[in-house]
Amino acid sequence: MQSNHAIKITKAATSKLTGTDLTKLPFGRYFTDHMLVADYVDGKWGEPEILPYGPISFDPSLVALHYGQSIFEGIKAYRLIDGSAAIFRPDKNFTRFNKSARRMEMAEVSEDIFIEGMKQLLELEDAWIPAQKDHSMYIRPFMFGSDELLGVAPSSRYRFMILLSPVGPYYAAPMRIYVEEQYVRAVPGGVGFAKTAGNYAASLHPATVAKSKGYDQVLWTDAFEHKYVQECGTMNVFFVLDGKLITPGLESGTILDGVTRDSVIALGRDMGLQVEEREIAVDELAAGYAAGKLTEAFGAGTAATIAKIRELVYKGQSMIFDVDNQPVSDELRDRFNAIREGREADKWGWMVPVKQG
Ligand SMILES: *Cc1c(COP(=O)(O)O)cnc(C)c1O
């Protein structure tokens, strides 16, 4: 990427940093002093700008509010042990963002805006990037249709933005999950592979029902038969069955192509495990459990990285996992941390430095 011209910056009058306790950071609650903004008008993107973080103003007829043209990404930047900062695989999120944009009939963004914009915003906010263990800077790029009219059509204008939110350790207590057999997250031909706002809106009610019954999340199954495993809440899902690491394949278009998922697959193979991406029937898991061969189950996503499942309930039958004895999940988590802190050689080139050169 060559064009590395400086983005116009309007500095905030004062910094909120001194008033923010970087040792107490609930997820997504605090934002840095600046944000990146770019507008797509008349068929092209204008120059991105970095502005003081603050409210944005639109007409009440904003199409994103009415018809949901809205997509986002979630990425993390880390402080390495040498004091520098690096972003975890932002190129994957960039590609996925434009894939989501195409499915939602939205304008695609350039690498210059998405990646360069993110780097320059992070460079400006360097003092906000936490250095404590298991802390990171959560990066939220997003885009929405910004036409102001009620006609149902793809918006002709779009607003792209990047927000930064320092986050502490995401304490993922091992989860209780049940196999969802009523609601569905995605169908073939639908928008399951897109990171679009509506997928989250649609998951809130089933998740609330699950919580009211004492569960943390649902394990989504296919829309036709409720037989095949899809995802765990808003995370991809993995199992260790008969010593193999298995996860649902992406062919159906109903599963989000997670960056953590892709990284778990690479790390798993590197650890010498056989990794399979394929259809996984809940019945196969239940049979494996009964035979003592289903030993680990976990969700994988940027927020939590690896979130262990301690109990999985299917048709009233409970599968219980010994969360203190999960060598695969534990080694994966350790390897992720080592790469992100710069303690382990980054053999895949996952860590992209914020500052060039
Ligand atoms: C974002 C997301 C994931 C995880 O993707 P990562 O790139 O690993 O953060 C998994 N499933 C759904 C539905 C998601 O929206």
Q: Tell the residue number behind the tokens 């080592």, with chain if given.
A: 338
- What residues flank ligand 1, with Cβ below 6 Å? 74, 195, 231, 234-236, 256, 258-261, 301-302
Q: Look at residue 221 and give its three-state secondary structure.
A: strand
Helix (H), strand (E) at residue 264: helix 259-270
Q: Which residues does residue 105 pair with via DSSP β-bridges, in sequence order?
A: none
Tokens of 318: 């409970």
Q: In this predicted structure, what is the pLDDT of residue 5?
A: 77
b/e per residue, 308-330, with b = 16+ CB within 10 A? bbbbbbbeeeebebebeebebbe
Q: In this predicted structure, what is the pLDDT of residue 74?
A: 98
Which amino acid is present at 335?
R
Q: In this predicted structure, what is the pLDDT of residue 2?
A: 46
Nearest in space to 341 (alpha carbons), one of 122, 84, 22, 79: 79
Q: What is the pLDDT along the chain (357 residues), one digit of tens a residue?
A: 445 678 999 999 999 999 888 888 888 999 999 999 999 999 999 999 999 999 999 999 999 999 999 999 999 999 999 999 999 999 999 999 999 999 999 999 999 999 999 999 999 999 999 999 889 999 999 999 999 999 999 999 999 999 999 999 887 789 999 999 999 999 999 999 999 999 999 999 999 999 999 999 999 999 999 999 999 999 999 999 999 999 999 999 999 999 999 999 999 999 999 999 999 999 999 999 999 999 999 999 999 999 999 999 999 999 999 999 999 999 999 999 999 999 999 999 999 999 975
Q: Which residues does residue 351 pair with via DSSP β-bridges, in sequence order?
A: 88
Measured distance CA(103)–CA(193) in Å, rounded: 9
Q: Name the residue of 203, 259, 302 to mutate for ligand 1: max ligand atoms within 8 A of Cβ.
A: 302
Q: Which atom of ligand 1 is nearest to the CA of 263?
A: 8
**Residue with CA at minimum distance from ligand 1 atom 14:** 234
Whether the CB-CB separation of 142 and 73 falls below 8 Å is answered with: yes
Q: How far is the CA of 10 from the centre of ligand 1 (A)?
A: 33
b/e per residue, 106-135, with b = 16+ CB within 10 A? bbebbebbbbbbbbbbbebbeebbbeeeeb
